[in-house]
Amino acid sequence: MKDNQSALIVIDVQRDFCPGGSLSVPGGDEIIEVINGLTPTYPLVAATKDWHPAGHISFASSHEGASPYKTITLDDSVHVVWPDHCVAGTVGAQLHEALDLTHVSLILHKGMDRDMDSYSAFLENDHRTPTGLHGYLQEHGIQKIDLCGLATDICVYHTALDALALGYELTILTEACRGVDMPGGTISERLDELDRLGAHLN
pLDDT, tens only, 136-161: 999 999 999 999 999 999 999 999 99
Instruction: Determine contact, residues 168/197, Cβ cutoff 8 Å.
Output: no
Among 110, 146, 148, 162, the active-site one is 110
- Determine if the pTM surpasses 0.75: yes
Say if 35 falls within a structural domain: yes
CATH (domain of 133) = 3.40.50.850
Say if 138 falls within a structural domain: yes
Say if 1 falls within a structural domain: no
Domain count, the chain: 1
Catalytic annotation present for 155: yes
Range of the domain at 153: 6-53+84-201
Per-residue model confidence as pLDDT tens digits over 62-79: 999 999 999 999 877 888
Catalytic annotation present for 12: yes
Among 153, 155, 162, 177, the active-site one is 155
Say if 75 falls within a structural domain: no
Say if 106 falls within a structural domain: yes
Per-residue model confidence as pLDDT tens digits over 181-191: 988 999 999 99
Across 111-180, the runs of DSSP E, i.e. the strands, are 144-150, 169-178
* Burial of residue 76, with CB atoms counted within 10 A of its CB: 0-12 exposed, 13-18 middle, 19 or more buried: exposed
Catalytic annotation present for 86: no
Say if 20 falls within a structural domain: yes
